[in-house]
Chains A and B, each alone.
Chain A
Amino acid sequence: MAEKLIGADIAPPDLHAKITGRAKFAEDFRAPGMVFAKLLLSPMPHARVRSMDTSRALAMPGVIGILTADDVPAREGPREACLTNEPKYEGEPVLAVAAVDEETAAAAIEEIEIDFEPLPFVVDPLESLRPSGPNAYTEGNQFSGEDGWSQLKWTAADFALIDAGRMPNPTAPIEWTKGDPEAAFAESSLVLEEVIVHQSLTHHPMEPRSNMAYWENGRLFAFVSTQSTQQTKFALAGALDMDPEDITLVAEFCGGGFGSKISGSTVMQIPALFSRKIGRPVMLRITRYEENYVGRARPGFQSWLKMGFLPNGKCNAIDLILVEDGGPYGSGDNGTAGMTADLTYTPRNMRFRAASMYTNTPPKAAQRGPGGAQIIAMMEPILDKAARELGMDRLEIRRINAPGPDVTFGPRDTTLTSVHAREALDQGAQMFDWAGKQALSGQRNGSKVTGLGIGLSPYTAGSRGRDGLMLIRPDGRLYVHQGIGNLGTHSIADTARPAAELLGLDWDDVTIVWGDSSKGMPRSTVQAGSQTTHAHTRANHAAGMDALRKVRQIAAATLGGAASAYSVDGGRVRGPGGSMTFAQVAQRAIAMGGEYDGHVLPEDIHAQTVPAAQMLAGQGLMGVARDNYGGEGSIYSWVAGFAMIELDHDTGVVDIKEFVGVTDCGTVLHPRSLGAQVLGGCIQGIGMAMTQRWVFDPQWGVPFANRLYTARPPGFLDIPLNARWGAVGIADPTSPVGAKGIGEPPVGAGAAALACAVADAMGGVCLCRTPLTPDIILAELEGRVAAHGRLDQHVG
């Protein structure tokens, strides 16, 4: 009997390469004749190049060439080009110089004379809404495809309220209402009105977005760092306006992305364009300092929240206004934020307004739990406040408000395939001993006060309709071709498990093919929104079913009897006519041709899968299929986080003593890897709420937390060493595998549990901002005047 793969701890097949130094990340590739590019970054938050003199640089021995904005595809409106003559944030790449070595390239950059005309800039999104506030673009601060540029300003009356610490009543480009919030607030027994700020913060994956490229006979070979291999090939083709089938994209390993490398990066265009221009392979090594700029950042929010509650703790109305830091090229985290608020607290009456404002700060992008993580970190402490006012247990108020299976949420009454948020809360409460620990809440030991907190966090966790592609080759092994990227979640291996199980194979008989588009990749998801596990267990299940059908049919055709009477196990197919090895089946498939070896393909597979399948045709038995399992409703996973901290009232320092994270993410595919996702995501959230920061000097518009030691992602001494995790483990009924994604929701859970625990250790005082650093905690505890305004953004 073949081993059970789903639910087993199996190390991914690339682990050996990762721990011996053999794993090649983008910067580890070399090509003959390779030269090095260095970037000239904008020294100002918003400027226009009036003139430049590159003659001295180009005359330097060893300098090969220069790539300027004139050499790269221009982008209209607020869209990002890889090089620009009108930089919109400090650090935006203006030009690149290639030389035989980096040192020459760097020295050449210093020889370039550029005259920048400084332009007005804005780093605080709210400032751009003030009646006479600055705009990030000379053309305005709002853009729409139909109407072009416009200017959105709130009224003096709005700002009179804002500056008085009250909720304004502004017009907003994004607005939806459901139910009757005003009537519901009137019926509420408790209405809380809060001003909350969530910081922006850089992703800072360990691997900066270095990449290398060269051309050979009109074909582009690109070595990039990306979360999603197959889709990145198409993204790069789109950016360069070329045929995707003329690109070989290599991305075997990705040193973290967290949303910042979903389809590679903008800077990956530079070596591609540069190498075409100069006829030499070009390596662009992105440094950490550069990554701070050209890497991405999570958009922060400035917000006003009104929340109404019935006497039993049920939230019956929400009024939420978000101002989002859109960076120079826009961001839409506010949409998921509004949806997440409605889903998590099920108010039935909600008004949502949002404005995403362009700012002259590094570009924003999805960051693990985009929108959701911020809003959960912002709203969970308010739920605690309601519980305190109503005299309720904080676990109970979450149970009461958490959605059940019949939930509808958001402006379009979205439904869910499955939801077990309450089960996650209950399991977490039991593991953490929430009830038993209540006595510790607020307990003082010298200057240290214990605080407890819970964070309940949902996020999207799947999608449907992708393709699976695999071969049983004449060596009898199953080769699962994965177009998804290898960003550290182990999903390149784990999502292949359903196919191997269907085919009765041991894991040792399975080879995962990934990381190189020339090897043949099916249409895949971008690895974002935690879609991969759900989408590709389904796609590989479908392709596995297709392979299984073909194996049985070949056995029946070869050995006699009905195909349905044949079964597979241990690399053999057995039935009334005897048995065959998979090696024999693969040979028969090639001999039979047609659909069996991929010469005839299903009509419903995606056009992007076809060339890959055609390339592999004739090499074995092909399993290829689209995920047609269907299903109604959105797919969401949940994490409930529980934290116990000690807050030192003398110093404002937080010490996390205990942490538990429990997830509802359907069937557990790979427990150890799931634990890493749950706890790793929670710790990222703890970093987001506590240690990390994003700091701008408002006068000069430049960032200062641009190094790791100033951006402060959490290290080993900032985390609980005995954290535990659990999973509800109830299969999602709409997937044949039952597994949902998990990447996103832990971030909000970790951040919120921490924020709630800090408030608990302060006697219920919610600071309503992140990061919760010792300075702002201590200022509050000591009754000092806060150093920042309530709505100040980017003050770290």
Chain B
Amino acid sequence: MAKIRDMIPAFELLQPTTIEAAIDLLDEHRSGAWVLAGGLDSFDWFKDRIKRPSAVIDLGGIPELTGIRDAEGGLEIGAMTTLTSIVRHPRIRSEYSIVADAAEHVATPQIRNQGTMGGNLAQDTRCWYYRSGWPCYRAGGNTCYASAPQAMNREHCIMGRSRCVAVNPSDTAPALIAVDAKMIVENTSGPKVYDAEDFFIGPSIDITRMTVMKPRDLLTRVHIPAAWANAEFYYEKVRDRGSWDFQLVSIAAAFRMSGGTIEEARIAVNGVAPYPVRLDAVERLVAGTSGDEATANRAGDLAIAGARALRHNDYKIPMMRNLVRRAVGSVA
């Protein structure tokens, strides 16, 4: 069968108007179903004719999935809330600016106007072997093309590999880990709450998925607790191109300060592993310090302990170290 791209194969379009209806549709169609949020990742797969769901469930008509609400002193962001709404939300901007900052680094204005919180978190990896439809481990095959000796893998991972060496592409993921967000996932059995860092999974857990979500699951909302409101934040995304690009390495850090001392820290890095990496050891290291230069240097070195480069991505090791240094040093 010859290959062709750039035409979306036919599917049944289902447009539920309630969460309950959406979950029922997912349950009914199981592996044949595809959840359409903003669609920017989905349409790529469809146009490449690699993913061919029989039923596409468009969440755009479900009002309860959209919007940002005050909840338990913190905030609750509906999964279908656009990234632009997050960027512009007054409380996010003032109290959780790292989330707005991260959302603003996503792609382009048009994509932020359409792309959603849920879509940005649940999007698939951009490994170009996988996205080209090659039969790799992640696609159900039995090899990883990106880690072959001659492979082109400058954008792939330096840690967390397990057969697959792809990275998580989400800009908002590390920011949400840094504020201890919770992801609420629902299916016909009811809702389940995941810590942000546990929401993302690596290939050692399931090589075909980027998150805990299985075919019947629906991410409905993200809860940001009050705990990290108004902390000291640091966000940085290093990319090749200022316009429309995924991260090479990105970092999100939150520091709760007491006087000049870091009381508690949350630091997450993306673009270095198949999932956003929370740097627990670094967080412990910097707690109780002022984020001084010596601490920052030690933090950077600790962050990359165990990092291992592929042929073309050794640069990510110093890049990650330098970003961790900068993030820690930002509070000094």
Taking beta carbons and an 8 Å cutoff, which residues of A are in contact with B?
Answer: 38-41, 43, 102-103, 106-107, 109-114, 287, 289-290, 447, 650-653, 691, 695-700, 704, 708-710, 712, 714-718, 773-776, 778-779, 782, 784-785, 787-788, 795-796
Contacts and interface: CB of A to CB of B under 8 A. Distances in A.
B189 to A, nearest CB: 38
Nearest to A697: B152
B132 A704 contact: yes
25 contacts: A40-B2, A41-B4, A106-B4, A106-B6, A114-B2, A289-B5, A650-B319, A650-B323, A695-B152, A696-B152, A697-B129, A697-B150, A697-B152, A699-B148, A699-B150, A708-B244, A715-B241, A716-B242, A774-B238, A774-B315, A775-B154, A775-B312, A778-B315, A782-B315, A782-B318
A35 to B, nearest CB: 15
A717 B243 contact: yes
A704 B314 contact: no
A712 B240 contact: yes
* SS of B interface (majority): loop
A704 to B, nearest CB: 4
Contacts of A114: 2
A718 B241 contact: yes
A110 B152 contact: no
A253 B71 CA distance: 55
Interface in B257-314: 311-314
A110 B151 contact: no
Contacts of B4: 38-41, 106, 109-110
A40 B240 CA distance: 32
A294 B129 CA distance: 21
B247 to A, nearest CB: 11
Nearest to B128: A704
Contacts of B9: 107
A9 to B, nearest CB: 29
Contact size class for B? 35 or more
Q: Which of B4, B10, B129, B244 has the most CB of A within 10 A?
A: B4
A106 B7 contact: yes
B315 A103 contact: no
Nearest to B1: A110
B312 A652 contact: no
Given A775-B248, A775-B313, A775-B316, 19 more contacts: A39-B4, A43-B3, A106-B7, A106-B49, A109-B4, A110-B3, A112-B1, A289-B5, A651-B322, A652-B319, A695-B152, A712-B240, A714-B241, A774-B319, A778-B315, A778-B318, A784-B315, A785-B314, A795-B312
A390 B315 CA distance: 33
B315 A776 contact: yes
B326 interface: yes
The 6 A-B pairs with the shortest beta carbon distances in the complex, nearest first, are: A715-B243, A717-B242, A650-B322, A106-B7, A775-B315, A287-B6
Q: Which of B49, B129, B319 has the most CB of A within 10 A?
A: B319
Contacts of B241: 691, 712, 714-715, 717-718
A16 to B, nearest CB: 26
Interface in B105-164: 128-129, 132, 145, 148, 150-152, 154
Nearest to A788: B312
A778 B322 CA distance: 11
A718 B312 contact: no
A112 B319 CA distance: 47
A406 to B, nearest CB: 44
Contacts of A775: 154, 248, 312-313, 315-316
Contact of B314 (A718, A773, A787): A787
Contacts of B10: 103
B245 interface: yes
B170 to A, nearest CB: 15
A685 B323 CA distance: 30
Contacts of A39: 4
A106 B316 CA distance: 40
Q: Which of B148, B154, B244 has the most CB of A within 10 A?
A: B154
Contacts of A704: 128-129, 132, 152
Contact of A653 (B154, B238, B316): B238
Contacts of B244: 708-709, 715
Contacts of B6: 106, 287, 289-290
A112 B3 CA distance: 9
